[in-house]
Chain A
Amino acid sequence: MKETLRRLKSLATRAPVERRLDEEVGFHIDQQIAKNVRAGMNPAEARRQALIKFGGVEHVKEQTRDEFRPALLEDVLRDLRYGIRILRRAPGFAIVAIATLGLGVGAATAGFSVVHGVLLAPLPYPEPHRIVRLFQIDRDGRRMGTVSEPNFNDWKRDARGFSAMAEVSAGPAPVTIGHDTSMIPGARVSREFFDVMGVHPLVGRGFAVDEARVGGAPTAIVSDRLWKTRLGGGPLNHLRLRVNNTVHQVIGVMPPAFDYPTGTDYWLPRELAAPQTSRTAHNWAVVTRLSHGVPLDRAIAEISAISRGLKQQYGEGTWMSDATAVPLREQMTATARPTLLLLFGASVVLLVIACLNVSNLQLARASTRRRELAVRLAVGAGRGRIARQLLAEAVVLAFAATATGLIIAVGGVRTLVALQPANVPRIQNVDVDMTAMLFAVLVAAFTAMALGLATALRTSRPDVREALAEDTRTMPGGRRSERIRQSLSVAQIALTIILLAGAGLLTRSFIKLMAVDPGFRTEDALLVDTQWTFSPDAAIQQRRKAVQEELLARLRALPGVQNAGLVDAHPLGTGWFPNGQFTEMTRVDELQTFADLEKLGPEIKARQGLAAYRIASEGYFQTIGIRLIRGRLFEETDSADAPHVALVSESLATAKWPNQDPIGRFIQFGNMDGDLRGFRVVGIVSDVREVTPETGPGPIFYGYYKQRMASHFTLVVRSEMSSSLAPTVRQVVREADPELPIRLRTVEEALDRALAGRRFSLTLIGAFSVAALILATLGIYGLISYLVGERTREIGIRLALGAESTDVLRLVLGKGVALAVPGIALGLSAALGLTHWLEGMLFGVVPSDPIALGGVMLITLAAVLAASYVPARRAMRIAPVIAMRAD
Chain B
Amino acid sequence: MTRDRRKSDVLQGTLDMLVLKTLQLEPMHGWGITERLEQWSVSVLQLGQGTLYPALYRLERQGLIRSEWKITENNRRARYYALTRDGRKHFTEELANWRRTSHAINLVLDAAL
Residues of A within 8 A of B (CB): 2-3, 6-7, 10, 20-21, 23-25, 27-28, 30-32, 52-57, 59-60, 62-64, 66-68, 71-72, 75, 382, 384-385
Q: Which of these, B2, B51, B63, B77, contacts A71 with CB under 8 Å?
A: B2
Chain B residues with CB under 8 A of A75? 2
Q: Which of B48, B50, B63, B78 has the most chain A CB atoms inside 10 A of its CB?
A: B50
Instruction: State the Cβ distance, A336 to closest chain B Cβ, in Å.
Output: 49
Chain B residues with CB under 8 A of A57? 50
> A54 contacts B50, CB within 8 Å?
yes
B58 within 8 A of A: yes
Q: Given the complex of chains A and B, what is the CA–CA distance between A67 and B67 in angstroms?
A: 15
**Other A-B pairs beyond A6-B63, A53-B49, 15, CB < 8 Å:** A24-B78, A27-B77, A27-B78, A28-B31, A32-B31, A54-B50, A57-B50, A59-B50, A60-B48, A60-B50, A64-B53, A64-B57, A68-B61, A71-B3, A75-B2
Chain A residues with CB under 8 A of B53? 21, 24-25, 60, 63-64
**Nearest B residue (CB) for A34:** B74
> A64 contacts B54, CB within 8 Å?
yes
Chain B residues with CB under 8 A of A63? 4, 51, 53-54
Instruction: State the Cβ distance, A628 to closest chain B Cβ, in Å.
Output: 88
B36 within 8 A of A: no
Chain A residues with CB under 8 A of B34? 28
Instruction: State the Cβ distance, A129 to closest chain B Cβ, in Å.
Output: 46
Instruction: State the Cβ distance, B68 to closest chain A Cβ, in Å.
Output: 11
Chain A residues with CB under 8 A of B48? 52-56, 60
Query: When A64-B57, A72-B2 are in contact, do A27 and B51 touch as well, CB less than 8 Å?
Result: no
Instruction: State the Cβ distance, A691 to closest chain B Cβ, in Å.
Output: 67
| A–B complex contacts, Cβ < 8 Å, 9 sampled | A7-B61, A25-B53, A28-B50, A32-B49, A52-B48, A55-B50, A55-B51, A60-B53, A66-B54
**Nearest A residue (CB) for B79:** A24
Instruction: State the Cβ distance, A677 to closest chain B Cβ, in Å.
Output: 94
> A382 contacts B30, CB within 8 Å?
no
Instruction: State the Cβ distance, B34 to closest chain A Cβ, in Å.
Output: 8
Query: When A6-B61, A67-B57 are in contact, do A28 and B49 touch as well, CB less than 8 Å?
Result: yes
Query: When A2-B63, A23-B77, A385-B1 are in contact, do A67 and B58 touch as well, CB less than 8 Å?
Result: yes
Chain A residues with CB under 8 A of B61? 3, 6-7, 10, 67-68
B109 within 8 A of A: no
**Nearest A residue (CB) for B53:** A64
Chain A residues with CB under 8 A of B6? none
Q: Given the complex of chains A and B, what is the CA–CA distance between A6 and B64 in angstroms?
A: 13
Query: When A60-B53, A60-B54, A71-B2 are in contact, do A55 and B47 touch as well, CB less than 8 Å?
Result: yes
B29 within 8 A of A: yes
Q: Which of these, A3, A6, A25, A66, contacts B50 with CB under 8 Å?
A: A25
Chain A residues with CB under 8 A of B54? 60, 63-64, 66-67
Chain B residues with CB under 8 A of A20? 79
Q: Given the complex of chains A and B, what is the CA–CA distance between A52 and B29 in angstroms?
A: 20
Q: Which of these, B1, B4, B49, B78, contacts A54 with CB under 8 Å?
A: B49
> B1 contacts A60, CB within 8 Å?
no
> A56 contacts B2, CB within 8 Å?
no
Chain A residues with CB under 8 A of B47? 55
Q: Given the complex of chains A and B, what is the CA–CA distance between A866 and B106 in angstroms?
A: 82
Chain B residues with CB under 8 A of A7? 61
**Nearest A residue (CB) for B58:** A67
Q: Given the complex of chains A and B, what is the CA–CA distance between A67 and B59 in angstroms?
A: 9
Q: Given the complex of chains A and B, what is the CA–CA distance between A78 and B3 in angstroms?
A: 17
Query: When A25-B50, A55-B47, A55-B50 are in contact, do A66 and B3 touch as well, CB less than 8 Å?
Result: yes
